[in-house]
Homo-oligomer: A and B are copies of this chain.
Amino acid sequence: MNKIRCCILGATGLVGQQFVRLLSGHPYFEVSMLTASESSVGKTYEEATEWVVGGEMPANVRALEVSDSRPESVLDREVSLAFCALPASIASDIEVDLAKSGVHVFSNASAHRMDGHTPILIPDINPEHLRLVRKQPYGRGFIVTNSNCSTSGLVFGLRPLMSFGIRYVNVTTYQAVSGAGRRGVASMDILGNVIPFIAQEEEKIERESRKILGVLDVEDIRPAQFEIDASCARVPVMNGHLESVTVNLEQDVSIEDARAALMNYTEEPQRLRLPTAPPQPIVVVGESDRPQPARDLHLEPPHNGMAVVIGRLRKKQRRLSFFLLVNNTIRGAAGASVLNAEFAMAKGYLNTDSEVSECRS
């Protein structure tokens, strides 16, 4: 099989580097273009990038010349798939232009997440939402987004509990500095400190989680109906968003049944054995003081940072409480979009000869 030529938009930043790392040696996709901002254009990727995501920079991208992110530049390079790690304000128009030109865009940017015809896809959670792209007015191309990084963890804690009826969710986060990007949090602000505010984060968690867990009707996504309060804070941790969650359920489920529902949860990516899918999307830990960001990110195979780790299940009345940990730059960003592209591929959505509307599924 020929690999699909793809482009990474915003490749020098933190999420961009994770895309590069995760796509190195990927069985379906081949990175043939890297873009970045003005100051990097024309340099090799090695010159333009301070590599901070661990290990060595993959050999195959070192000498690639960094391009600008204009749609024309992308189209010149005959890539049919783009992974987007650009800031939302820049990404908004570029993604639409690329989709209109027939490119399949898998985006970490928040710009189009709440568009009515754009899915926030997590194939382990809402695989059926991919069908929404058929409604997009872009011709052969489309835009699929992944969720906000905190949201990407939360919905794994909620999805297996949906069958018990979720009335209300209260979530408080401990978010790593990497979630704000390479230079997003100044050290003077966070050393020995907690900052109880992240711009737009609480709003994103509240609206994205309801959309992701919503039902795809013929035409639209009907958001899940639970109430939700999110409180977000930054902590002096490098990687990994920890979240304290309480869920009010309709049914009086036992802790054992709740635990079983979480730990046995699987969906299409597991059945399809997609390359980036973790064998277990949710790992439930039993130790009394876990999960911890410094110890439980499960970066090694087979999880590779794609599992959400849950611990400390407790229950009072019909309220279930627990802590969950999500790898914000992998499951919450680059890894999420790579898995989305793999899933779209497996479902026939990347067939470049035909219209999206003809794909199976």
Q: A residues engaging B (CB < 8 A)?
A: 14, 52, 55, 170, 172, 174, 177-178, 182-197, 202, 227, 229, 231, 233, 235-238, 242, 244, 246, 288-295, 300, 311-312, 314, 316-317, 319, 321, 323
Contacts and interface: CB of A to CB of B under 8 A. Distances in A.
A317 B229 CA distance: 11
Nearest to A324: B196
A227 B294 contact: no
A19 to B, nearest CB: 18
A193 B244 contact: no
Given A236-B236, A321-B231, A174 B186 contact: no
A21 to B, nearest CB: 13
A184 B170 CA distance: 30
A49 to B, nearest CB: 12
Contact of A177 (B187, B195, B197): B187
Contact of A242 (B190, B194, B246, B290): B194
B233 A246 contact: no
A271 to B, nearest CB: 25
Contacts of A290: 196-197
8 contacts: A52-B188, A177-B191, A187-B190, A191-B236, A193-B237, A194-B237, A196-B290, A231-B321
Contacts of A52: 188, 295
Nearest to A181: B188
Contact of A187 (B55, B185, B196): B185
Contacts of A292: 193-196
A294 B186 contact: no
Contacts of A293: 192-194
A183 B182 contact: no
A233 B242 contact: yes
A229 B191 contact: no
Contact of A188 (B238, B246, B311, B316): B238
A300 B196 CA distance: 22
A158 to B, nearest CB: 16
Contact of A244 (B189, B196, B291, B312): B196
Nearest to A198: B289
A237 B192 CA distance: 4
A235 B187 contact: no
A51 to B, nearest CB: 9
Contacts of A289: 195-197
A281 to B, nearest CB: 19
A186 to B, nearest CB: 4
Contact of A55 (B231, B236, B300, B312): B300
B192 A192 contact: yes
A239 to B, nearest CB: 9
Most B CB atoms within 10 A — which of A194, A314, A319? Answer: A194
Nearest to A228: B316
A192 B321 CA distance: 24
A197 to B, nearest CB: 4
Contacts of A323: 196, 231, 233
A149 B194 CA distance: 18
